[in-house]
Amino acid sequence: MEDLSGFPLEIVGENSPMVSFKKVRKSYGSLVVLDDLDLDVAAGEMVSVIGPSGSGKTTVLRMLMTLEKINGGVIYVDGKPLTHMDKGGKLLLANDKHLRTRRSDIGMCFQHFNLFPHMTAIQNCMEGPVQVLGLSKAEARDRGEELLELVGMIDKKDQHPSRLSGGQQQRVAIARALAMRPKVMLFDEVTSALDPEVIGEVTNVIRKLVSEHNLTMLMVTHQMGFARDISDRVCFFYGGKIEEQGPPAELFGNPKRERTQQFLSAVKEAV
Amino acid sequence: MFDWLFMDEWFPKFDWRWDYTWEILPRLIEATGNTLIAAAAGYLIALVLGLVFALAQRSQSRVLTFVVREFVEFVRSTPLLLQIFFIFYVGPQFGITLSPWVSGMIAIGLHYSCYLSEVYRGGLDSVPKGQWEAAIALNMTTAQTYKRLIIPQAIPPAIPGLGNYLIGIFKDTPMLSVIGVAELIHTANAIGSETWRYLEAYTMVGVIFLALSLPAAGLIRAFEGFVRRRLGM
Ligand SMILES: Nc1ncnc2c1ncn2[C@@H]1O[C@H](COP(=O)(O)OP(=O)(O)OP(=O)(O)O)[C@@H](O)[C@H]1O
Ligand SMILES: [Mg+2]
């Protein structure tokens, strides 16, 4: 078993990060996808993740959402271990119960929305609050309507997903995730499955979240312009590691590493 | 050339007596009630148990998965008639004495639950993985996810298969006659042995089965459409 004695049981202090990956390893068989990844995200920070296909961007988010098992290292959320639990001063791999208590701080939106097709927009938003948080239907409905209002979907609240466009579905999915009141929101290429003309309605919602809400956000995107606009920091992933990171102006305007330069010029050409 | 077909001694056997038909019809209709009750009760058992078996085969416990899978395979590879005999005649040797009706319902319900579990399994597997991931992102438990998300989405695609087995179970109820359940065939047999006329009784049984089976397929399709609309799918 892995020796985790070097990892803290808790990260305390004024400026302790909201999310902290410490030497996180993930592999599928012999394929190493995340290679001793260290990544901190401060509370209220918006971090964009860019990089070539297969560099491990989605995996970072899936690990944080506990959709994938960790193979090494520890992930902390809000100072406390997420992937592990403190058993008498030792970090052990988290069990289901621990994961359930700790992942309540995290919400996620997916590339393909993953709305519940047998429920209307408002029912999608009420499901988590009623079933998981134990809100009454009336409370959950109020909360859901407020959020559908925020994402501009209130007039479609009684429609099933099959009656909504991709952009509309993604906005409902954002409302559904926010209804759980997470501290950290994860966005995995939320505009990649959308027609170009509706991308704006989703990015505008994310812009609004950044400017009006004190959420910590981690966003994987292929839209460089959008990442540059709204991020506090951009991380360029390459081969399961962060090759380069920094404020968007710096990373996009004056990339230091050759791989970053290559990637950014390749992306520019593709546009 | 075909004279032998029309030989006199054949004809009496083909003579159909309407007055006799009307006379036995009430008994056959009463038996139809029993057939329908048997089919419905057996089907209800199979609907519930089938889902339980399907879910058990997806459980985390390897032992449970293995045991249920083997049991389902075993039941599916042995004849229903044998299972009926087994429960009714062998049961008492182990101190389990059940009435014909109860034995019959258990046998037919259990038998069909194994077929239905395969139908459910297909439906459950057809629900996209993304639904599970969304449920985890909302921090729902496995039980909540099955109950609220996976099972409701697994049912509509399973309805045609589930419906076929409803017709199947209906047509298999005559097997219960062998242990004395007074369903249609059992009653027709009784009528025949009383009067030595079988033609009318068996023909009417066939007509009744046909009349009930034929609209079923259409009704099942309509029901599937109804459920899909209700779920907005
Ligand atoms: N379940 C899995 N089994 C095996 N390999 C996987 C699995 N999931 C991901 N991988 C591999 O892990 C690597 C990283 O995948 P990941 O999805 O994180 O990449 P990404 O950076 O998000 O790429 P993209 O831009 O194409 O979405 C890829 O090589 C991928 O093939
Ligand atoms: Mg990806």
Q: Render pLDDT for A39-58 as a digit per residue (tens, 0 to 9).
A: 999 999 999 999 999 999 99
- Is A57 a pocket residue for ligand 1 (Cβ < 6 Å)? yes
Q: What is the residue with the minimal CA distance to atom 28 of ligand 1?
A: A54
Instruction: State the closest ligand 1 atom to the C-alpha of A56, by its place in the atom list counted from 1.
Output: 18
The ligand minimizing its distance to the Cα of A51 is 1
CB pairs under 8 A between A and B: 66
- pLDDT tier, B2 (very low <50, low <70, confident <90, very high otherwise): low
Two tokens, residue A36 = 């001793």
Break chain B into its structural domains and give their ranges: 35-181
- Written as one letter, the residue type at A57 is K
How does pLDDT run across B19-74, given as a tens digit for each residue?
888 989 999 999 999 999 999 999 999 999 999 999 999 999 999 999 999 999 99
A27 alpha-carbon distance from chain centroid: 20
Q: What's the DSSP call for residue A79? A: T
For A104, which residue in chain B has the nearest alpha carbon? B139
B41 alpha-carbon distance from chain centroid: 9
Instruction: State the closest ligand 1 atom to the C-alpha of A59, by its place in the atom list counted from 1.
Output: 18
Q: What is the residue with the minimal CA distance to atom 30 of ligand 1?
A: A54
Alpha-carbon distance values, B133 to A109, B107, B127, B138, B145 (Å)? 10, 39, 12, 9, 10
Query: For residues B183 and B41, what is the distance between their CA atoms, to the nearest angstrom?
Result: 13
For B150, which residue in chain A has the nearest alpha carbon? A116
Q: What is the residue with the minimal CA distance to atom 12 of ligand 1?
A: A33
How does pLDDT run across A114-153, given as a tens digit for each residue?
999 999 999 999 999 999 999 999 999 999 999 999 999 9
Q: What per-residue confidence (pLDDT) applies to B233?
A: 73
Instruction: State the closest ligand 1 atom to the C-alpha of A189, by its place in the atom list counted from 1.
Output: 27
B228 interface with A at CB cutoff 8 Å: no
Which residue ranges of chain A lie beneath pLDDT 50?
none
How does pLDDT run across B64-105, given as a tens digit for each residue?
999 999 999 999 999 999 999 999 999 888 988 899 999 999
CATH code for the structural domain at B35-181:
1.10.3720.10
Query: For residues A136 and B98, what is the distance between their CA atoms, to the nearest angstrom?
Result: 47
- Is A58 a pocket residue for ligand 1 (Cβ < 6 Å)? yes
Q: What per-residue confidence (pLDDT) applies to B8?
A: 59
Two tokens, residue A93 = 């791999």
Query: For residues A26 and B138, what is the distance between their CA atoms, to the nearest angstrom?
Result: 23
Q: What per-residue confidence (pLDDT) applies to A271?
A: 61
Q: What per-residue confidence (pLDDT) applies to A169?
A: 97
A147 interface with B at CB cutoff 8 Å: no
